Structure 1
């Protein structure tokens, strides 16, 4: 079933449930499915579609015969999740109850022909280049460089990204609705700068993720490269067939 806004009903339920769950204590039990169906006025199939997404995001766990529970604080929740809804590293980790710290290394305008190619713009077009280190607790998890159009997203240059989410900022300031994230995972050897950042030998293999984020109109919003050490680079992929991500009958 789809709302008048064009958003499938299960997505509305999923995102409301997400906000409820992140305020719950680890191990706390969700209401039973019949009660949640009543609260959201949806069928069980719609509710389960929403809950299955949140299980795949490691926010909750279903125990046969017992119910569905908020995942524990000691669960393995620091992996990056690639799924069919665009959340971004900061909001994924925040949803999981982790404390994210960001150190902004640079936020400036550049001309970069390779990044421009990935953004689908002229090679001489000025781009925002946002470079950050992302920590979960006290552990460095990723070095990420993100490129965006400087003419379209000029406010990014004025914002302090030492706290908060870039994607959330774009949604709030520019009403951008990101619906697709094309990710290429590869191995990249650490150059001298990255060896120093990650405290590894020069030439050590790093896990690299090239990411192209697209909005609902098919426009490329951002291109980024995130680097992780092999020890910190666990990534979980969620892949669904097209029929599973389309409208769900209520």
Structure 2
């Protein structure tokens, strides 16, 4: 075979070899790039799916603080003394058993811890159980009281207590019709007696004066003397049982 022919064949073989090599390289490059692109495409889809699947975060509920404990009721022990002042004048001249009366607490009353249970100004109500004037200056009359309720911050509470002290005054009723009758009767009797004894007008006058004096003395001796608790007078009560009062 001529040398030129051999050289031509060799050249053709080389060209085909290069083409085959280039084709193989291109195929390899395509195969290499294909997974990368496919993976990139696949990565985009799950990313969108994940974002869509996300839910809004749950809102935290506010934590409720426990309510503070209610303060314990206020209580006064049995034996506690409560100072009062009379709201009105109470007199045996006008009052009678069964009548009502009222008084005001004159100062704060506190429990053992110092808390005010009954504030000053609280109203205490009760009943007059006896109202007897003194029949004469040498005898004693009486006014007896019983308390039943105390009103604290607008709420009324039954109270078991006794009146242990009260300021009273004795007051005479002055000259009454009965007193005048006694004086007149004494004067008349004295005048008659003086006339009988003296047999003249002078004896009548002297007897009348003496009789009037005797009548006045009799009136004074038998005059009623009223027992009076003046308005604003001090009254003290003592609890016989504990008293419980709601807090404000």
TM-score bracket, shorter-length normalisation: under 0.3
What is the TM-score when the length of structure 1 is the normalising length?
0.18
What is the TM-score when the length of structure 2 is the normalising length?
0.18
Greater RCO, 1 or 2 (C-alpha within 8 Å, sep 6+): 2
Higher CA-based Rg:
2
More helix, by proportion:
2
